[in-house]
Structure 1
C-alpha cells in the first residue's frame, strides 16, 4: 500500500497550489500544479507497470 500512500501524499501536497491558481490566479502556482500533475502521471504509469508485471508473474 505504500504506492497508494505516495499517490495520496502527492495529491495532498498540490492542494495549496490548486487553490492559489484557481482562486487567486497565481501563475507560479499553476506551473507547480502542472509539474505535480506530470509527476502524478509518471507515478501512475509506474504503478500500472508494476501491477501488470505482478499479474503476469502470477500466471
Structure 2
C-alpha cells in the first residue's frame, strides 16, 4: 500500500505542472511533467509486479 500512496502523491504533484504546461504554455513545466509521467510509469509497473507476486503466493 505504501507504493500506491507514493503514486497518488506523485500524481498530485504532477497535476500542478500539468496545469502550468497546458494552461500557461510553460515549457519547463512540460519537461517536469514528462519526468513525473516516466516516474509514474516505473512506479505503476513496480506495483503491478508486487500485486502479481502477492497473488501467486496465495
Q: If the TM-score is normalised by the length of the shorter chain, which range does it land in?
A: over 0.9
Q: Report what 1:46 is aligned to.
A: 46
Runs of 4+ in 1 over 3 A off after TM superposition: none
TM-score (norm 2): 0.92
Q: How does 1:9-48 map to 2 (within 5 A)?
A: 9-48=9-48
TM-score (norm 1): 0.91
